[in-house]
Amino acid sequence: MFLEQVVTNPDPYAPFLLSQAIRANGLVFVSGQAAIGDDGEIVGGGFDRQAEQAFRNLDRALKAAGSGLDKIVKVTIFLRSMENFSKVVELRRKWFSAPYPADSIIEVSSLYSPEALIEIEAIALDKDR
């Protein structure tokens, strides 16, 4: 089995001992991307700013793997509140295009940080597909 760690620069995930993503046998498995800025801190300013940063981080991790948002086959979006569901639909319209990826949107009571409001993980085709 072919496994390759995907690293971004900066890599805000390094302190947590996990990979931004892993390439394996034609697929890219992206770890949950939260609203972590380049300084390693959660972006402030509420859900809208956090969601934009989380999608930017997802895009960056995929590009580091040689993939892209257009190659996502499955995305899982974790929300602290389903009150933001309609905003997620708009974000999907902005960041994805048809055919839209399969998707699960799940409300959770907490994420890795009490300040985190959204986290996005994805499975995509790699650069060779």
Condensed to tens digits (0 to 9), the pLDDT of residues 82-103 reads 999 999 999 999 999 999 999 9
Range of the domain at 104: 3-125
Query: Which CATH number is 50's domain given?
Result: 3.30.1330.40
Averaged pLDDT for residues 118-123: 98
Q: Are 126 and 28 in contact (CB under 8 A)?
A: yes
In tens, the pLDDT along 24-79 reads 999 999 999 999 998 889 998 899 999 999 999 999 999 999 999 999 999 999 99
77 HSE (CA, 13 A, CB side):
24
Q: Is residue 128 scored above 90 in pLDDT?
A: no
β-bridge pairing 102-107 and 3-6: unpaired
Token pair 């697929």: residue? 27
- Domains held by the chain: number: 1
- pTM, two decimals, is 0.93
